[in-house]
């Protein structure tokens, strides 16, 4: 009997066996190219070849290994709908029909197995209430993130002053831009560091944002954690509509909550709300 694994476990394994080898290729080939170029073992244009080779090898590894991971993951995970959604959000796989999804390398045996596993998508995911979720969840600004942005802003301001002291027009323009950027980061991060106001409150009755009255679960639909951007640079948002078709999009980057944990919290409160109103 195959051991059932969680969605989190499957995603972590995918990131390990896929992303690590790909990153080694993307970084390793150019590094080797630089080394060989410095030793005059290859011509200068060889570095460009090394970069292209790294991208090609990385893509080839992804194209082969991602198919093996798909088969293993969809075979061992019960909630395949959540798994597929999370895999797309974490950039392990592409959405169905995407041009890059078509670059996956699958043998006839692999394709047949995936078609058999597609039958699992005819069943709904099964969830249980998470007992670790408290009666009320209050989400604040993340102090660690705010301090990191503050330090980044200070560093940027220091660099800008060094450039502004230069007599060249180019340095003045770049320095001015960095000063404005760094100054903005410093001001905003200071505000958030000392802001102790609850930004989001969630319980079994609904969601309350800092600038809004509480919205009942009866009035909330299409609530989800969505991502924008690519890979590690992607930004997570809490999104949902209310009964008046107003769209809410809350950036989670500044908040003291992990997107995966927030998904569990939202699901648990919805379940508690349903139990309380049946």
Tell me the whole-structure pTM to 2 decimals: 0.67
Is a pLDDT exceeding 90 seen at residue 85? no
- Output the pLDDT for position 168: 81
- Give the pLDDT band of residue 230 (cuts 50, 70, 90): low
Is a pLDDT exceeding 60 seen at residue 91? yes
Which of 276, 128, 265, 140 lies closest to 202, judged by CA? 265
Q: What CA–CA distance (Å, rounded) separates 247 from 188?
A: 25
Is a pLDDT exceeding 60 seen at residue 231? no
Least confident of 59-63, 218-222, 230-234: 230-234
Percent of the chain whose pLDDT exceeds 90: 59
Q: Tokens 């890059």 map to which residue? A: 100
**137-177: per-residue pLDDT in tens?**
999 999 999 999 999 999 999 999 888 888 788 888 888 99
- Output the pLDDT for position 1: 53
- Output the pLDDT for position 4: 85
- How many Cβ atoms are within 10 Å of 185's Cβ, its own excluded? 20
**16-27: per-residue pLDDT in tens?**
999 899 999 999
Least confident of 203-207, 229-233, 240-244: 229-233
- Tokens representing 14 are 């995918």
Q: Tokens 């290729």 map to which residue? A: 25
**50-61: per-residue pLDDT in tens?**
999 999 999 999
Task: Answer yes or no: are the C-beta atoms of 125 and 78 closer than 8 Å.
Answer: yes
Helix/strand/coil for 137: strand
Is a pLDDT exceeding 90 seen at residue 42? no
- Output the pLDDT for position 218: 94
Q: What CA–CA distance (Å, rounded) separates 106 from 93?
A: 14
Distance between start and end Cα atoms, the chain: 37
């Amino acid at each position: 009997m195959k051991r059932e694994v969680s969605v989190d476990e499957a995603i972590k394994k995918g990131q390990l066996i896929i992303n690590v080898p790909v990153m080694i290729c993307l970084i390793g080939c150019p590094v080797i190219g630089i080394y060989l170029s410095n030793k005059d073992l290859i011509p200068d244009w060889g570095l460009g070849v090394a970069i292209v080779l790294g991208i090609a090898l990385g893509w080839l590894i992804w194209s082969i290994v991602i198919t093996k991971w798909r088969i293993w993951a969809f075979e061992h995970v019960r909630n395949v709908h959540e798994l597929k959604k999370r895999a797309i959000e974490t950039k392990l796989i592409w959405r169905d029909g995407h041009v890059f999804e078509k670059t996956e390398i699958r043998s006839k045996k692999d394709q047949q197995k995936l078609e058999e596993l597609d039958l699992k998508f005819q069943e709904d995911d099964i969830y249980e209430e998470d007992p670790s979720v408290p009666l009320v969840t209050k989400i604040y600004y993340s102090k660690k993130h705010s301090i990191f942005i503050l330090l980044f802003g200070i560093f940027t301001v220091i660099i800008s002053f060094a450039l502004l002291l230069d007599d060249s027009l180019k340095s003045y323009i770049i320095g001015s831009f960095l000063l404005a950027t760094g100054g903005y980061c410093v001001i905003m991060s200071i505000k958030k560091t000392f802001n102790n106001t609850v930004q989001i409150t969630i319980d079994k009755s609904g969601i309350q944002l800092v600038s809004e009255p509480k919205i009942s679960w009866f009035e909330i639909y299409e609530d989800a954690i969505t991502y924008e951007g690519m890979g590690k640079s992607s930004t997570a948002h809490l999104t949902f509509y209310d009964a008046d078709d107003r769209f809410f999009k809350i950036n989670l980057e500044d908040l003291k909550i992990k997107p995966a944990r927030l998904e569990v919290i939202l699901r648990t409160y919805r379940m508690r709300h349903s139990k309380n109103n049946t």
